[in-house]
Structure 1
């Protein structure tokens, strides 16, 4: 089923579709490949361009070719030029990858050009590879956003080119390390293979010697062979062989082959090329070799490339008459992959991942796991807003494709490997932020439109709703200026949730009523002085925080009523008690489930006790900083630390307050207890324990990082436990699979570590944990954004929070990572860690559920209350839900989106892995009567990217050492019963009846 979300928007903007461009007999796909010659070394020349969706310039500057003083790059000219060159010779090929650019180019073309491109695609001469909106990063990205950005690209290609536009090969040539979950997702999208350009230099040495540059990646042991993915590491990054870059941006000489002219380098070129190819072919297992003929933003004058490649093919192939065994053809990655498959040989197996990545001594690309933490959190938040936008668009039947696209597109751009990574210039980071802000405004517009339809019980229109994007720094214009207002929260989870609301307010006396007008207990807390000093909230008048608990039904919203009262009114509210801490005496905060103890001499956290499981662990917390290594990057010894590279000057970090006692005070009340702590003027934190909670919340504030000593600094938090962990620790892969890590170790080669700190850092998307197997005790930390982390000592967990550096690291950005913030003194970052101590099984249940709740947390909208709460309840829904009951707790509703007039795109996922306790069992869900306002009548299962029926997927089969991989097993969907196995995601096109 190939209906689409773009409907109105793209039909207007792109003027494409099956009626305008009918697809007849097609020769695209593997049958369109140029023929090879058996018994020869077939050299697959792949013309390509790598077009960053923002890096040194913004995405639109790259598209138009603006700001040439920064970089000479214009994507529109690349596509213009390539199309003309492809028409000159039907054997020529070109691949294109980034749909963010192709979409921009396509909607500016006339029908004549579009028909030409349609023909080129249908004949396989122009092939789309990867096909996502961008080539996403694999370390700092969340799996939900990865799926969504690919779905956006796939949908555009499907609407525009039909089946011939469906990519068959994934192409991750520039990301700086590769995750196992990413490979699993690619397999689920139906890709036959993956090629990438970067792997650790030590790994490459061994692979070259063992002919292991190409392999079968066993990407998800929970799913089995269906998650296997053939994977190849490119031979020269993604660049052409030395001496054969024929782009006008390059310095290599063209092929000068006219014997009548004095300048002639033909023999020299042929010998150089043949020697290089023969040498590289010795590292491969077949008689096929793929050469990437292109690089960053090349082919703006495609004639220079194709003219020289034509000569190269002609003259090399002419030597076959004299016994040469080289055969050159224009090709694509999919055609190359097809020939590898036809070779029918056995391939080595990969079971771990490709993190961390180093390209030379002292050069571990682990800094970007944390770089630009503000934009990392903004991207995570924007992904949540997009989920809510899709839900409300469905339930309110808005068909608002324009605003939905305006939320979706900037979020997709932000997954680029120089966006979420924080490896772009500051001006480009500002552009990404502006785009996400515009997307948030479209979310607000869509939410208002949805509430206008969903709230009313009568004909009366509800008041406009407003939004506060700075609640994390205790700032909100609505709650600060209105005496009476409503708080409407939408729950994007398919389970009932309880959550804590914290609203910045001016006063100290409030009543809160729930959806049924029942009185809700509150607590008022004074805003800390460290919060008041944050420059972004300089206009805020709020002095206090109003705290109360909310409960929201699955895929539903609930409205709460907040009213200012006089202090002497007999109301159910409580001011917090502030208790100074005297040094010398240990102190603690606790509820009925957990206690957190603090050392009276140092003021630092010293232990966590799980009162339900009767398990305790020593947990000593402290903040440190590494001094970033200075240098000019002229050699490995002078490698500097910056956006990409993490290289500390010393392997022992410095304490932010030189181990002086931490200043603390306690805030106690009926709903939450807090310990406010000041480590130094630029590191503060609040440790919270809510009523009924079984975990500790650590809200940390870092910055502005001082650089008056001309030293860049990288801030980390350390949790030092007494667990015996045997140097093992565990991190998540893009928010899904758990990866086992070991200090100073790589599973597939003997590691020679040149940087004992940064060489042991790994990406932490949502969680990191350590466990004492003998005692069955696990310590877990959940994060609110992607960060770099490790366990550098037995029983320790370290996470990097913030970075401010003063030297470029020589990887292209050309400026230091020095975020100065709105006041120019340095960016202040605030974030949260959740800490949990329990048995392994209980900890697994906690982190699986809580990580999803952190990601898909309730969104908040406010409205002025100009009537009594009772009048509001009489006129408007205050406790609405789309589902009749919650889904099982091991199932997450990942996607719900309008996919056609009477079709929904629904993704359901099993959130547990095998062997994780009672929740690791398969689970069956009936879509019949699942939703309140419509019924499901039919289901078709699609591939993960929603661009092909699963029954039509036939992936290539591969032989692997010790395994035999098969193509996708299509499981016939029986009616409306959906069965999910551990870690499985099912993508469904669900036909529904009309809303009622």
Structure 2
């Protein structure tokens, strides 16, 4: 759309808004010289938790929880239509969109009227209220964009959210604040922060602040006014009027004995006085609602009306309290007009504890399989959107509908009781089923895209087949075919090399590349540990075929695999059982790993380029989960949310095994060491040719519980480095935050859990530095996990949890996952380990992290066609770019808008300032003739959520105590309208019109 978008956007606003009084203009009048109490009617509707999304929407399974979202919206809308003085905020668009699609045209028109006059206000606006610890920034942006687009398309500007509303997530990420600011939000409110932090803030009246979302890189662009809600997100105690509430209504007939107006008003005024004493302006906000409230909206509104009436009547007698229906945006607007100076914060709100011994750091690792699946699915969604755009499918074959199904499934999966792992088991299955269905829908889209991108003539290419269980060496098409084609699509905007592992039967194969040249291969036996995984039942694969694929920027390559009878040469594969008392060494051009001849465990890592040698030990341990009854903090159990080891002695871990059985596989392409730590823990350590990392593929489970003890399994790397209590973790895959053991930057910590209280979310990487030796040790993950440095020189990552007690925080069942055989679930994942000088490390971990979450998509076909015959009919290699993007630039989003023929394009700078002497510099990219099939005619820059032209964004400005120190970025003006200059960590979002 470009200019077309501007016209369309303004037209929507004109038609739907007219003389609308939404936004700040619709805010109710307040009274000077009084405490203005902003009463905010709301319902917090979890997009799955104790019940599935569908069960919550329809109100089924009332024996689990009395909650029906359709009834909430039915009830609220009618109450708002009856009385223009009423206000309500709604948050979860996954529910609202479903409800709105079911309504008649006349009711939809009435709802638009409620939005236009400010009675119904959308806050947050994402498909869900996402978790902040386990979510990747790419998925956070996508799920908000999904909700924003629904609101923009159906309601126009009056529905654009202005406030973040993260009232229930269990800790808060600085990157989330940065993204919200870039969405154009003016404020953020949340309900949970550490009990010690909250106590400090209440006493110092710093419950509200300006949060620096990116102090080093983006400066004021990422600043966000942030407030902590006083009562979590519920009403004051005693003032709930809904299903499940037992609080007394306000009975105001003075003729009756049961009249309680004076008593209730006095009680409420006491709450007002108490809350106001901890805030600094004459405005406070009270959340009048809670989980799945307003199924009977009239109950709430009738009692709030009385509360407002009888409290405000007292103003005639000298009361200084004024109650009003309001919204978080109106509250924020009034705070902004208060002409006050605010304190700032530039770290995050992790970890969170609600009382001593109760750190919510277990969910960083809960349901490790679901966390991994969600990350892989996000990867494929980006592939699907890109290929749909590059093939210019438009609505051909219903591609937009297929993609929408996948978007909605992944949007739901980002919920703070989804990817977090804090839902009931039945709900976890439902999330996984939704994701699987979305993947199937997008596989159809990718197949359709290949129909356009592969052919050189009218020949139709064979259908592409996907294998979701390749990570456990199972794939029907590769096991059953003697000849097949492997097509890999690269979603990164520059060429990459990718290692391919294909399950096969037999040990002799040849591979030919897209140019017809032979490709080096290696065949590796499938281990008996892998063969024992229950989900492999029926698989015949006994080997994996390994080769390296070269892939063009934003394009694909096809490789040709043929089973042969040729005898393998000696160098292709040799497997040795470890000899006792003899060290085993894995070595490539860059790294050397030495494993002890006695224990079979890793003991040394050497960077052969720099000469850095590290006495590195890696091993598996487990904590025993505390089996408490949760009656008091000292009896807090370890559960889905909380991590609490039984033994809080930081030096007393349970080792899985003192010795390991190992097998060493040597070959030209990859060297592997299979380590078996026991019947439920094994690992393959790999060094690939030409790679600067060591790959540790761990397999954990079934975790034994016959001893009646729940276990929390970690992989620990011990280096001996002098790290001075400091380590570093990423924030949602983007910026890096410094962590210091037993320390909080903005308040004095009284540490009650030396282990759990030092755990932090690791979304993509964790590292530590020995600055005296100029050494950085980095571990990248393939999913979100909890990580820590409990001892200087050590890093640990929690890979799997199985527990026998509930932690009494709502889910109501232990975290005890089982596999298809009814035994404990087996989980497999990977860690990627780097050892280098500090200055060189950012380039390594930034590049690798990008390649992990934007990995190539691998699909198969089994046409009986050789490379030459195939190449005569189909393209064997193709790129969607005329050139390549710079090494510090990533194409974050390329997708066609469902409501137009325009495209959404996001480009980002993936380095922070001062991380790399070259790659941290600003970079300019021209979109002129960048894409092969797409000619960019014009582009309009939007906010990050793609729902407003950036030039139309005017955020509220705040005066802070450190304003003089505030970094205000300078933006380069482009002489070329089709070019963009990216500074470190910037994301630029465009609506692109094609010529």
Q: Shorter-chain TM-score category?
A: over 0.9
2:580 pairs with 580, 583, 588, which one?
Answer: 583
Deviations 1:512-567 (A, max 9, x none): 00001110011001101100000000110000010001000010000000011113
Output aligned runs, 1:596-995, within 5 Å. 596-652=593-649, 659-899=657-897, 901-917=900-916, 918-963=918-963, 973-974=974-975, 975-993=977-995
Q: Contact conserved, 2:41 with 2:288, CA < 8 A, in 1?
A: yes
Matched, 1:434 2:433: yes
Structure 1 residues 63 and 790: CA distance shift in structure 2, 3 A: same
Q: Which moved more, 1:597-606 or 1:197-206?
A: 597-606
The residue aligned with 1:68 is 62
Deviations 1:12-37 (A, max 9, x none): xxxxx949963312210001011100
1:49 aligns with 2:43: yes
Map Cα deviations across residues 626-676 of structure 1 (whole Å, 9 max, x no partner).
000012211112111010000000125766656522111100011000011
Residue 261 of structure 2: aligned partner: 266
Q: SS at the partner of 2:850?
A: helix
Give the SS at the match of 2:363. Answer: helix
CA–CA distance in structure 2, aligned partners of residues 633 and 275 of structure 1: 31
1:507 deviates by 1.2
The answer to whether the Cα contact below 8 Å between 1:384 and 1:856 also exists between their aligned partners in 2 is yes
- Which residue is equivalent to 1:149? 143
Alpha carbons 1:248, 1:304 under 8 Å: kept: no
Shift of 1:902: 4.5
2:218 alignment partner, one of 223, 242, 248: 223
Give secondary structure in 1 for the equivalent of 2:848. Answer: helix
Question: C-alpha separation between the residues in 2 aligned to 1:684 and 1:673?
Answer: 17
Secondary structure of the structure 2 residue equivalent to 1:678: strand
Q: What SS class does the counterpart of residue 238 from structure 1 fall into? A: coil
- Residue 510 of structure 1: aligned partner: 509
Q: Is 1:236 the counterpart of 2:231 in the alignment?
A: yes
Q: Deviations over 1:675-694 (max 9, x none)?
A: 11011110100000001111
Question: Are residues 167 and 972 of structure 1, via their aligned partners in 2, closer, same or farther at CA, if it must alter by over 3 Å?
Answer: farther
Distance change in 2, residues 1:324/1:355 (3 Å): same
CA distance in structure 2 between the partners assigned to 1:621 and 1:934 by the alignment: 49
- Aligned residue number for residue 317 of structure 1: 312
After TM superposition, give the deviation of residue 969 of structure 1 in Å: 8.0
Secondary structure at 2:232 match in 1: strand
Counterpart contact for 1:239–1:295, Cα < 8 Å: yes
For residue 235 of structure 1, give the secondary structure of its aligned residue in structure 2: coil
Please state how far the C-alpha of 1:977 moved relative to its aligned partner: 1.4
**Secondary structure in structure 2 of the residue aligned to 1:411:** helix
How far the C-alpha of 1:575 sits from its partner, in A, is 4.0
Query: Which of 335, 360, 366 lines up with 1:365 in the alignment?
Result: 360
- Kept in 1, the 8 Å contact 2:735–2:912? The answer is yes
C-alpha displacement at 1:580, in angstroms? 1.7
User: What SS class does the counterpart of residue 903 from structure 2 fall into?
Assistant: strand
Residue number in structure 2 paired with 1:532: 531
Deviation per CA, 1:795-821: give whole Å up to 9, x if none.
Answer: 000100000000000000000000011
User: What secondary structure, in the 3-state scheme, does the structure 2 residue paired with 1:845 have?
Assistant: helix
Q: How does 1:546-565 map to 2 (within 5 A)?
A: 546-565=545-564
State how many pairs are aligned: 980
Which of 338, 341, 351 lines up with 1:343 in the alignment? 338
Q: Is the 8 A contact 2:494 2:553 kept in 1?
A: yes
Change (3 A) 1:696 1:968: closer
Q: Is the 8 A contact 1:951 1:970 kept in 2?
A: no
Change (3 A) 1:971 1:74: farther
> Would the aligned equivalents of 2:13 and 2:156 in 1 still touch at CA under 8 Å?
no
The farther-off stretch of 167-176 and 965-974 is 965-974
Instruction: Give me the whole-angstrom Cα distance separating, in 2, the residues matched to 1:707 and 1:382.
Output: 31
Matched, 1:291 2:280: no
Give CA-to-partner distance per residue, 1:127-149, whole Å, 9 cap, x none: 00000000000000000000000
Cα drift, residue 205 of structure 1: 0.6
State whether residues 910 and 984 of structure 1, in contact with CA within 8 Å, keep that contact through their aligned partners in structure 2. yes
Q: SS at 1:22's partner residue?
A: helix
The separation in 1 between residues aligned to 2:317 and 2:391, in whole angstroms, is: 72
Matched ranges for 1:179-198 at <5 A: 179-198=173-192
* Residue 378 of structure 2: aligned partner: 383
Change over 3 Å in CA distance of 1:655–1:586 after alignment to 2: farther
From 129, 145, 157, the equivalent of 1:163 is: 157
> Partners in 1 of 2:531 and 2:548 — Cα distance?
24
**How far apart are the structure 2 equivalents of 1:928 and 1:369?**
43
1:78 paired residue number: 72
Question: How many angstroms apart in 1 are the aligned matches of 2:559 and 2:542?
Answer: 22
C-alpha deviations, 1:945-980, integer Å up to 9, x for none? Answer: 000000000000001111167999887554111100
* SS, match of residue 724 in structure 1: coil
Aligned residue for 2:618, secondary structure, equals: strand
Matches within 5 A, 1:63-142: 63-142=57-136
* Contact 1:457–1:877 (Cα < 8 Å) also in 2: yes
Alignment deviations for residues 860-913 of structure 1 (CA, whole Å, 9 cap, x no partner): 110012222211111001101100121110111100011365422110000011
Whole-angstrom distance in 2 between the partners of 1:233 and 1:798: 32
Q: Match for residue 14 of structure 1?
A: none
CA distance 1:714–1:157, shift in 2 (3 Å): same
Equivalent-residue separation in structure 1 for 2:275 and 2:865 (angstroms): 77
Contact 1:226/1:969 (<8 A) preserved: no
Q: Tell me, which stretches of 5 or more residues in structure 1 are unaligned? A: 6-16
Match of 1:369, SS? Answer: coil
The equivalences for 1:2-17 within 5 A come to none
SS in 2 for 1:920: coil
Match of 1:395 among 367, 382, 390: 390
2: CA distance, partners of 1:3 / 1:873: 41
Bigger mean CA offset, 782-791 vs 82-91: 82-91
- Can you list the C-alpha shifts for 1:604-633, whole angstroms capped at 9, x where unaligned? 111111111221211101100000001221
CA distance in 1, matches of 2:131, 2:268: 33
The answer for the alignment partner of 2:8 in structure 1 is: none
Tell me how far apart the structure 1 counterparts of residues 488 and 705 of structure 2 sit (CA, whole Å). 41
Q: 1-side partners of 2:563 and 2:545: how far apart?
A: 11
Please, which runs of 5 or more residues in structure 2 have no aligned partner? 6-10
Partner Cα distance (1:100, 1:746) in 2: 36
1:256 equivalent in structure 2: 251
- Normalized against structure 2, the TM-score is what? 0.97
Are the equivalent residues in 1 in contact too, given 2:623–2:653 (CA < 8 A)?
A: no
Distance (whole Å) between structure 1 residues aligned to residue 368 and residue 3 of structure 2: 38
Structure 2 CA distance, aligned partners of 1:902 and 1:807? 53
1:146 and 1:752 mapped to 2: Cα distance? 33
Match of 1:308 in 2: 303
Residue in structure 2 matched with residue 11 of structure 1 by the alignment: none
Residue of structure 2 in register with 1:9 after alignment: none
Question: Residue in 2 aligned with 1:476?
Answer: 475
